[in-house]
Structure 1
Amino acid sequence: MAEMALTPGVFDRLLSDRIIWLGSEVRDDNANEICAKILLLAAEDSQRDIFLYINSPGGSITAGMAIYDTMKFVPNDVVTVGIGLAASMGQFLLSSGTKGKRYITPNARVLLHQPSGGFGGTAADIQTQAKVILDMKKRMAELTAEQTGKSVEQILIDNDRDNWFTAQEALAYGFVDHLREFASDVVGGGGTDDSVNKK
């Protein structure tokens, strides 16, 4: 029996069940697609949950913030599920789900660290770019503090270097609300419950 590849058709099928999959770095192209899918699902039904599955090593801050802003822009609850890896911007998006509806699977890992970026150009350009990164670091620390219940000062201490968390540690830290092994234990069956999805 041939193995089913993750073709666009698979992702379309997931979308029909209100599931959005982030399984790579966060980039401008896939962030635009994820934002569009969130808006589409909200337009189809402004009451039902949207499920965002995350297995991501992180990526672009600005692209990630576009996803974050879209998650907050729509009236729907956004259920986040961390599977495999939620690092850097992946961690931030996992924690950005609707409080009470943020999940992680038992063998997933989470990485918290400060934003980084490569600089180039004139001295004035580099100074401007450094200020942008510092502003983003402060803003992300403020939002992460809100998401986890920690102080901004604590977040800045904890994200100063790469800080890895097991699923249990991520739950204790406040990145997520639940550690679950099975989709049936996630609200709405994690998007797999036909009785919920076909309403």
Structure 2
Amino acid sequence: MRMNFGHLRGVHVRVFVPSSPYFPAYAQGQGPPPMVQERFQSVISQLFQYRIIRCGGAVDDDMANIIVAQLLYLDAVDPNKDIVMYVNSPGGSVTAGMAIFDTMRHIRPDVSTVCVGLAASMGAFLLSAGTKGKRYSLPNSRIMIHQPLGGAQGGQTDIDIQANEMLHHKANLNGYLSYHTGQSLEKINQDTDRDFFMSAKEAKEYGLIDGVIMNPLKALQPLAAAAEGKDQGSV
């Protein structure tokens, strides 16, 4: 069963979902010319050289495999220098997200996380999983947590197996959220029972992040620089 942290409901438009979180996919005959696409890829490559990676779009196996590889590579290059991961994601696969999470904990460098736009569901979980003291958000971002969503089908035994798997993921994720935020497990269970939205300021008060980046120039720099701000609540 592929379990997803459900996607947000809203205005639906006809879009083509990228097969990779870094390189856009277009229908035949659509999209920018090859030169523009090459420039886009060049920008991503330049950011990567500065140890900046992106968690953008739905969290799936393709995204997880790319981010895991990037984290492992940057760890091998320099285990003492921070990595910065910008999160703009509505959530996605629990297992894919946990692959990223476990790798973040496995490698030696600190991983700073920054929310830009939206960090919902597994996106919010990964945002909170950054190194404590180095988790940030831009001021107008939105953060949302909730319980895992999924469905079960088949015979009664199959349904029971899948339901138990969902309960496992819920308990596991809520336990980590309690640790990351400092909130009690009881409060996490209560707040994640439904979609729980927060502003950047509210997310800081909740313990999901450590600061709100108010200076736009700081957002363009590796977060090691942002962490040098005198007021950790805003930089």
TM-score of the superposed pair, with normalisation by structure 1:
0.90
Deviation digits for residues 124-176 of structure 1, max 9, x if unmatched? 11111110110110011110000000011110000000010011111110000
Q: What secondary structure is seen at the aligned counterpart in 2 of 1:7?
A: helix
Answer yes or no: is the 8 Å Cα contact 1:48–1:77 preserved in 2: yes
1:60 to 75, 93, 99: 93
Matches within 5 A, 1:4-153: 7-153=40-186
2:208 to 170, 175, 178: 175
State the identity %. 46
Identify unmatched segments of 5+ residues in structure 2.
Answer: 1-32, 226-235
- Structure number with the higher helix fraction is 1
Query: Could you tell me how far 1:190 is from its partner in structure 2?
Result: 2.4
Deviation digits for residues 79-111 of structure 1, max 9, x if unmatched? 000010000000000000000000000000001
In our comparison, the structure showing a higher alpha carbon Rg is 2
* Aligned amino acid, residue 63 of structure 2: N
Identify unmatched segments of 5+ residues in structure 1.
Answer: 194-199
Deviation digits for residues 42-61 of structure 1, max 9, x if unmatched? 00000000010000000000
Answer yes or no: is the 8 Å Cα contact 1:18–1:191 preserved in 2: no
Aligned CA-pair RMSD: 2.1
Answer yes or no: is the 8 Å Cα contact 1:17–1:192 preserved in 2: no
Query: Could you tell me how far 1:184 is from its partner in structure 2?
Result: 4.4
* Aligned amino acid, residue 77 of structure 1: D
* Aligned amino acid, residue 79 of structure 1: S
Query: Could you tell me how far 1:4 is from its partner in structure 2?
Result: 5.8
Hey, what does 1:189 align to over in structure 2?
A: 221
Deviation digits for residues 16-63 of structure 1, max 9, x if unmatched? 110111110000011010000000000000000001000000000000
Output the CA distance in 2 between the equivalents of 1:89 and 1:167.
17
Answer yes or no: is the 8 Å Cα contact 1:183–1:192 preserved in 2: no
Query: Could you tell me how far 1:192 is from its partner in structure 2?
Result: 9.8
Query: Could you tell me how far 1:118 is from its partner in structure 2?
Result: 2.1
Q: What secondary structure is seen at the aligned counterpart in 1 of 2:222?
A: helix
* Aligned amino acid, residue 8 of structure 1: Q
Query: Could you tell me how far 1:191 is from its partner in structure 2?
Result: 5.9
